[in-house]
Chain A
């Protein structure tokens, strides 16, 4: 039962990212929230990991994600799910404050299920950038063909991390039940879409993101 490294036990010099991660991330350190992601977000990241690295964790040549850091962000608040007949709408907010300064955003996508088979019929879903006082809502179209049923919509233009101008991203998850309507109770709500941040962590000790010429940039 190793006690997590207490900050005091580490050298005063800026610790290596791995030690820093240990210091910050290890359970028992300050601010550790209990509920880690599970279910579909976890399965998605495990698939992404297996695609990028072998069983011993060695990055697979030619399979690079094009960067050394990918962060999955869960929606921090889901407004009340509201069904109106066949329609379902849910506001989602992703908090982005406190991103480490050394992590520079390369790309950001929201991952969701555009087409969910139900016991009767199916659920067709889309994402919309929530309207604000200054700008109307924007329907987000998937940037890539769905893979294993998941679609990725690119939201990079709406996040200007780094200069801290964006503290959160507000979306609306909209679905409609297609096909014959089943019983009277509303079907299970679809899983919450999650945000993927593809970041280049510029700290020493992090593998350069596919910097070597022989690695193909996606």
Chain B
């Protein structure tokens, strides 16, 4: 199998293409009221942390930023032992958001929190 795959990799990748169910970044806008934080968070009004969901394809293409370990794990799952799970679809890059909130003593606080919005996904 491995030989065939390696021999016909370009064709295999074309055939693979990106399935809809593949690991990808998806939106989920949420309000701080839904999180129960609206009493003390003044801004932003909208917050979309986004999330990663989907199956990691059997052959991990370069655009998944997958480390070699994930490629090996994917082969192990397919060719050696299916109990070893496929790599998981998780965020790869994040970006910060700024938050304006009310403090306990009535003051107002501006803070920048990093890693609050997922910007891309990877298979790990």
In the complex, how many residues of chain A place their beta carbon closer than 8 angstroms to a beta carbon of chain B? 47
- What's the nearest-Cβ distance from chain A to residue B112, in Å? 4
* Binary flags per residue of B66-109, CB closer than 8 Å to A gives 1, else 0: 00000000000000000000000000000111111111111111
Q: Contacting chain A: which of B1-9, B18-26, B33-41, B53-61?
A: B33-41
Whole-angstrom distance between the alpha carbons of A27 and B104 in the complex?
A: 8
Q: Is the CB of B111 within 8 A of A45?
A: no
A56-B97, A58-B95, A69-B109 known; A37 vs B102 contact (CB < 8 Å):
yes
Report yes or no: B36 in contact with A2, Cβ–Cβ below 8 A: yes
Selected contact of B40 from candidates A1, A26, A42, A45, CB within 8 Å:
A26
Chain A positions 28-72 with a Cβ under 8 Å from a chain B Cβ: 29, 31-33, 35-37, 41-42, 45-46, 48-50, 52-59, 65, 68-72
Residues in A whose Cβ lies below 8 Å from that of B112: 59, 68-69, 206-207, 209
What's the Cα separation between A59 and B97 when bound, in Å? Answer: 6
Q: Are A52 and B46 in contact (CB under 8 A)?
A: no
Q: Is the CB of A71 within 8 A of B46?
A: no
Known contacts A36-B102, A207-B114; A71/B97 CB under 8 A: no
Question: How extensive is the interface on chain B, given as a class?
Answer: 35 or more
- A113–B44 CA distance with the chains assembled, in angstroms: 27
Q: Is the interface of B mostly helix, strand, loop or mixed?
A: strand
- A74→B107 CA distance, assembly (Å): 6
What is the bound-complex CA distance between A7 and B92, given in angstroms? 31
Scoring A48, A53, A55 by chain B CB atoms within 10 A of each residue's CB, the highest score goes to A53
Q: How far is the CA of A35 from the CA of B40 in the complex (A)?
A: 12
- Report yes or no: B106 in contact with A36, Cβ–Cβ below 8 A: yes
Interface 9-mer from A16-24, A128-136, A149-157, A181-189: A16-24
Q: Which residues of B contact A59 (CB under 8 A)?
A: 96-98, 112
Q: Is A205 in contact with B113, judged by CB distance below 8 angstroms? A: yes
Chain A: which residue is nearest B101 at the CB level?
A25
A41 to B117, CA, bound (A): 29
Contact A49 B105 (CB under 8 A): no
B residues near A (Cβ < 8 Å) are: 35-37, 39-40, 42-48, 95-117
- Residues on A lying within 8 angstroms of B by beta carbon are 1-2, 4, 17-18, 21-22, 24-27, 29, 31-33, 35-37, 41-42, 45-46, 48-50, 52-59, 65, 68-74, 201, 205-209
